[in-house]
Amino acid sequence: MNFLSLCPSHSQRLLNLKMESDEELAKEARHSSEAFAELYRRNLKAVYRYHFSRVGNVHDAQDLTTQTFLAAQEAIANFQGRGKFAAWLMGIASRKTADHFRRQRSILPLEEAAQIEDDSIAPEEFVAQQLSLEQVAQALSQLTSDRAEVIALQIFGGLSMAEAAQVMGKSEAAVKMLVCRALKDLRKYLKTTCE
């Protein structure tokens, strides 16, 4: 029996990785670059969209996304598996965004969010989404930073209420209140702009 017959093929290994949960992959990623690469592939779009929704330009969003994944790779051994990997990763993304704003001391508009492509929808749906993203971007700029952050984590980062609370270091009840207030503010803003 040779060595290759004892090991699964490379393509079989990749298929096995695709079937594992993010949390299982995170444990493997401590010792496997393939496992981390799969985590990167699964979470790249959400992390990028989150950063883009916060900083408003492609260059900074790409830079922050890179910083987020580098920091995650360096700290993967610290992932305890008590919560969702996505929430842990978005926590890193949130800290990278906060660092960016501390360095920049300015908030940029989200107008370019409409340029994020989604190949899974029809062109006419994409145009409708694009118009909606422009309105959302403008409306988010009117919110306080905490309210904009919770909306960005949920809509662009794809996190649940509990996961957003974990990232923000707040109780779930506090995050629900932030969401309610943010939605109320957004309704007021949209009502005044549509009149």
Q: List the domains of the chain with CATH numbers.
A: 20-194 (1.10.1740.10)
Q: What is the mean pLDDT of residues 144-162?
A: 86
Reduce the DSSP state of residue 9 to 3 states and report it.
coil
pLDDT class for 117, splitting at 50, 70, 90? low
pLDDT class for 118, splitting at 50, 70, 90? very low
- Evaluate whether 114 touches 178 at the Cβ level (below 8 Å): no
The whole-number pLDDT of residue 106 equals 46
According to the 3-state scheme, what is the secondary structure of 158-172? CCCHHHHHHHHCCCH
- Evaluate whether 175 touches 186 at the Cβ level (below 8 Å): no
5: which 2 tokens? Answer: 């017959």
Rounded to whole angstroms, the Cα distance separating 130 from 132 reads 5
pLDDT tens readout for residues 29-83: 899 898 999 999 999 999 998 988 888 788 999 999 999 999 999 999 999 888 8
